[in-house]
């Protein structure tokens, strides 16, 4: 499951990640500030393209909400916007997670 839980996003690696990243039988945690959204795919880590559902400004930079369906699982992902273009609700963008930001639980 990947979703916003307190201050962390939890990812079930058996559903999302391949062996090249981490042991797929373990869960991982990624702090929401380390989940980046952009119009560009980051090929150095894990990337998923999805539609922007909500845009909000808790501070100087935008944060976006994505609603994802993988297999039979539905979850929401909050990510910090890291692009010069403004995020637009309804447009597709990439959710990018760098390998070094993944923590094993």
* Whether residue 49 has pLDDT greater than 70: yes
Which of 31, 13, 30 is closest to 22 using CA atoms?
Answer: 13
**Who has greater pLDDT, 80 or 8?**
80
Domain map (residue ranges) of the chain: 3-104
| 33 compared with 26, residue with greater pLDDT | 33
The reported pLDDT for the residue numbered 17 is: 54
Q: What is the pLDDT of residue 9?
A: 54
pTM over 0.75: no
Average pLDDT for the chain: 78
CA-to-CA dists, residue 50 to 22, 24, 26, 41, 54, angstroms: 23, 23, 24, 11, 12
Distance CA 10, CA 30 (A): 6
Q: Are 22 and 11 in contact (CB under 8 A)?
A: no
CA-wise closest residue to 82 among 97, 102, 69, 103: 97
């Amino acid at each position: 499951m990947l979703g916003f839980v307190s201050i962390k996003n939890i990812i079930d690696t058996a559903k999302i990640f391949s062996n090249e990243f981490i042991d797929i039988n373990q869960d991982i945690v990624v702090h929401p500030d380390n989940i980046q959204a952009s119009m560009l795919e980051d090929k150095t880590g894990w990337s998923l393209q999805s539609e922007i559902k909500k845009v909000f400004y808790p501070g100087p930079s935008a944060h976006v909400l994505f609603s994802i369906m993988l297999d039979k699982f539905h979850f929401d992902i909050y990510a910090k916007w890291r692009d010069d273009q403004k995020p637009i609700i309804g447009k597709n963008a990439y959710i990018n997670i760098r390998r070094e930001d993944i923590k094993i639980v």
